Chains A and B, each alone.
Chain A
Amino acid sequence: MIRIQHLKKSFGELNVLDDLTLDIEPGTVTAILGPNASGKSTLLKCILGLVNPDAGRILIDDEPIAGRSHYRAKIGYMPQIARFPDNLTVDELFAMLRDLREDAIDVDIELFARYEIGAMGKKRLGTLSGGTRQKILAAVALLFAPKILILDEPTVGLDPVSATVFKDKVRKERTNGRTIILSSHLVNEVEEMADRIVYLQDGKPFFVGTMEEIKRMTSEGHLDRALVRIMENAREATHGTRR
């Protein structure tokens, strides 16, 4: 369970997160949506401890995370951009991450096996293609069977087959009672994976609800149309303009 309470963060004049309060339940996939600069990645980075909030707090399993590092043993993170030290081999990268998580008991090598990463163990990371690096990132995020998964646009760099493998894996993990947070611009990705949608606008949740609720509320049958409707409503609500 992740509780986010009155979170505020500004970069200079720009209020990226503006008194954001949100609970993220275990056993669900929560998709964070919103236009560019709505605070999606800042929110994810606050949960990871990469960004220090100006005010408010985040509790993971009822413990505040501020200034701590150990709670990250519960988290698997898949960033958007995959760049590794060029001269390390694939095997060494996995050995390094395992060394940094000496407490990890469970190891989940399903993605590692399905992406056939073992076969390229001796290759240097600098010689791999962007898609292969993305697969490695995905396998790394899931490697320690984390209770919490944070995925930042996970399938953008993956080929269709690998993307399907990944989505199946995420859905399977959800039924294992994990908390999964996903940030994405791809509607079909969200539709396939997410149970709950959090639509951010100007650093606040404008809409929080299940997939059915969003469709019912907007009386649109398809998620993409429902999202466009939400986006228009959000824009009107903040800027007061009608088309």
Chain B
Amino acid sequence: MGHAGRILKYELHNLLRSKWLIGIAAMLFVVTEALFRFGGEPGKTIISVMSIVLVVVPLLSVVLGTIYFYNSREFNELLLAQPVTRTNIYLGKLIGFTSALCLAFLVGLGLPFLIHSYGLRDYIGKIVTLLLVGCCFIVIFASLAFYAATRFEDRIKGLGAVLVAWFLLTVVWDGVILLYVHVFREYPYEPGLLGLVFLNPIDLGRILILLQLDISALMGYTGAVFRNVFGTDRGAVLAAGAMIVYAAVPVLFGLRTFRAKDF
């Protein structure tokens, strides 16, 4: 096992005992379980749970990721003084944090699905997509958080930057898309729309989940265009590739900044 793996191991030891991580798993569990009890039909429940995944998971990942990385600054200095490369330290910490958060997410959100699994046989594909998209979000937004915490010395600036990024992707982007559709409503706007969706991991995730559900039929011609693109194997590969790029970019930028940084 390399140095990154060893650091990861102790990061996991540390994080899996932390109160906030257990709290997050419990909170996700309570909300999902409640949605199951009051949601009625499983398809509707999945849509409600989807909104949590789309809004709350990225927010939790960026906020906790930045705070966690800022708080480990002094200990990082001690690690950096050991015979370990900076790349191993950064990747060990990032992978450790991401896996711990993914685990909390999968337990909190997945447990209610297991409890109610008797009526869910037809929904397995949809649930798996939902959980996978959530884990992608955690990887992407935790990497972004670590990058911001490396880039900005001042923690208020770092936290501000990730919150602005989250707000742009979650709220402002929807406005951009609506505006685009409104302006170009007289023209075939679908190809451009497809491009806009691909430019935002949250929208991409949303479309991937929605297409698994029957309501995409309600989206008319646009839905059909999406179905044509994402419904095929090539589309799925394309979407997965885009998610990987969204995770790789902040990881690479963060790594580059961390390697060149003065502590």
Contacts and interface: CB of A to CB of B under 8 A. Distances in A.
Interface in A40-61: 45, 48-52
A101 B78 CA distance: 13
A99 B263 contact: no
Interface in A46-99: 48-52, 69-73, 75, 77, 79, 81-88, 92, 96-97, 99
A69 B81 contact: no
A84 B74 CA distance: 8
Which of B14, B80, B262: most chain A CB closer than 10 A? B14
B85 interface: yes
Interface string B98-124: 000000000000000000000000000
Contacts of B14: 85-88
A140 to B, nearest CB: 8
Q: Number of contact residues on B: which range applies?
A: 20 to 34
Given A45-B263, A99-B6, A85 B81 contact: no
B255 to A, nearest CB: 15
Nearest to A81: B74
A100 interface: yes
Contacts of B35: none
B228 interface: no
Contacts of B10: 85, 88, 92, 96, 99
Contacts of A51: 262-263
B85 A75 contact: no
Interface residues of A, number: 33
Interface string B13-37: 1110110000000000000000000
A99 B7 CA distance: 9
Nearest to A11: B262
A86 to B, nearest CB: 7
B17 A100 contact: no
B262 A101 contact: no
B187 interface: no
Q: Which 10 A-B pairs have the closest CB atoms?
A: A83-B74, A77-B81, A85-B14, A87-B17, A73-B83, A50-B263, A72-B83, A51-B262, A96-B10, A99-B6
18 contacts: A45-B262, A45-B263, A69-B85, A70-B83, A72-B81, A72-B84, A73-B83, A83-B74, A84-B75, A85-B72, A86-B14, A87-B15, A87-B18, A92-B13, A100-B84, A101-B82, A101-B83, A150-B81
Interface of A: 11, 45, 48-52, 69-73, 75, 77, 79, 81-88, 92, 96-97, 99-101, 103, 137, 140, 150
